[in-house]
Chains A and B, each alone.
With several copies, the nearest count.
Chain A
Amino acid sequence: MLTVKLFAKARDLVGSPTVQLAWSDGQVVAHLKQVLGEQYPALVPLIPRLFVAVNNDYAADSTAISQADEVACFPPVSGG
C-alpha cells in the first residue's frame, strides 16, 4: 500500500487528508495520478493541475515511487 497525503482543494474533494492505494514499488507519478482519478472521480477536474511531491520535493510524471516514500498531492500553491 502507498499512503498519499492530500492538501487544500485536493483534500476537500476527496474528503480525507490521506488515502491508501494498492501499489507496486517502481510505478511512477503518472500512474499515481491515473489511479487517483479512477478511485476518486471528484479529483478528476483537478488532476491536470495536481502536483505530486515525493520525499518533500516536486516529482516529474516519470518519477518512480516506492511504498516507503513520503508522497503528497496538491494543487498549485498560493501562500505568501
Chain B
Amino acid sequence: MISLTHEPINYQALTESVRSPNSGAVVLFLGTVRELTGGRRTVALDYEGYPAMAEAKLAELEAEACLRWPIDRVGIIHRLGHLELGDISVAVAVSCPHREQAFEAGKFLIDELKVRVPIWKKENWDDGSTEWVHPGGEMSKPE
C-alpha cells in the first residue's frame, strides 16, 4: 500500500494493513514536523511532490526492500501540502517474521525515500521567510 495524500495520515489504518499472523514484528516510522532546526524555528512546512514519479520510486523501494529482507507487507504514505508543527509528513510501516528484519527494512525505506523519492519541502520560518530545503550539494544521481 503506497500512496500520496493531502489529508492527515491515518497511521493506524496503515499499521493494520501490514499486520498478519505470518509476522512477529511490525515497525512503524513517523516523520513529524519539528519546531527547531539548527537553532531556527519552523512554523509550518509545505510539501510538494512529483506524483507519478514519486509513486514509481516508492514502488521501486518496496520491491528492493522485499529482495533484501523477508518482508511480509509494506505500507508507505507521504503527505503533501501545508503541514503545521507536529503534523505527520510520512508514515512507513513494515512487517517481518523477526524484529531485526523489520527495523532494518523500515530504516532502509525511510532513508532511501529521503534521497530518491521526488518530494520537496519548503520551510516557513518564524521570521516570515520561506526557503526550499535542498539537502547536500551532491551533483551525483541518487541510486
Contacts and interface: CB of A to CB of B under 8 A. Distances in A.
Interface in B120-143: 120-122, 132-139, 141-143
Contacts of A74: 50, 118, 120
Main secondary structure of the interface of B (DSSP, over half): mixed
B85 interface: no
Given A49-B139, A53-B118, A76 B50 contact: no
A74 to B, nearest CB: 6
B19 interface: no
Interface residues of A, number: 23
Interface residues of B, number: 35
Query: Nearest 7 pairs between A and B by C-beta?
Result: A79-B119, A8-B120, A78-B133, A80-B114, A56-B53, A9-B132, A75-B134
Most chain A Cβ neighbours within 10 Å, of B47, B56, B118, B141: B118
B76 to A, nearest CB: 11
A68 interface: no
B107 interface: no
Contacts of A70: 52
B90 interface: yes
A54 B121 CA distance: 22
B78 interface: yes
Interface of A: 5, 7-9, 12, 48-49, 51, 53, 56-60, 70, 72, 74-80
B113 interface: yes
A76 B90 contact: no
Contacts of B82: none
Contacts of B122: 8
B139 A78 contact: no
A79 B120 contact: yes
